[in-house]
Amino acid sequence: PRVRDIMNRQVISITEDEEIRVAAKRLLKDETNHLPVLDGNGTLVGIITTYDVSKAVVTDGRLRQVKDIMTRKVIKTTPDEPVDIAAQKLERNNISALPVVDTTNRVVGILSAIDLGKLFGGRR
């Protein structure tokens, strides 16, 4: 199977100029751990996770915006990529989700370790 077969198309994202507390609220409300970060053009420029928000709280209260704490070097995948390659990216980088981008770097989905788990066991 390919990434498009199991990716989640309901992507919850955030823009880089939002305040960190907005990101925190969104993570809580939507019960997700990863928010792809977009610039004003809707292009993927980073990723922010519950881990990053927690770290910002304990290390530096002056950090204000998503762009101050996001990870800029995003490890990502594409709809055409075989799922085993995507799974390797998660494993090797010790992360649990990959934004799925099209050829113009727009986010068309998100692939998480949970989605990969659905391939086995056949539930849902």
Contact footprint for ligand SAM (CB under 6 A)? 34, 47, 49, 51-52, 71, 74-75, 94-98
Query: Minimum distance from CB of 122 to ligand SAM (Å)?
Result: 25
**Nearer Cβ to ligand SAM, position 43 or 122?**
43
Smallest separation, CB 96 to ligand SAM (Å) = 5
Angle at 52 between CA 35 and CA 37, to 5 degrees: 30
Q: How far is the CB of 61 from ligand SAM (least distance, A)?
A: 18
Nearer to ligand SAM, 25 or 55 (CB): 55
User: Taking the alpha carbons of 67, 58, 34, 88 in that order, is the dihedral positive or negative?
Assistant: positive
Residue 18: count other Cβ atoms within 10 Å of its Cβ.
18
Q: Which of 110, 115, 118 is nearest to 49 (CA)?
A: 110
Q: Which residue has the tokens 């075989």?
A: 82
User: For ligand SAM, which is the closer residue by CB, 71 or 122?
Assistant: 71
Are β-strands 44-49 and 107-112 bridged in parallel, bridged antiparallel, or unpaired? unpaired
Nearer to ligand SAM, 7 or 97 (CB): 97
Cα separation, 59 vs 79, whole angstroms: 37
Q: Minimum distance from CB of 53 to ligand SAM (Å)? A: 10
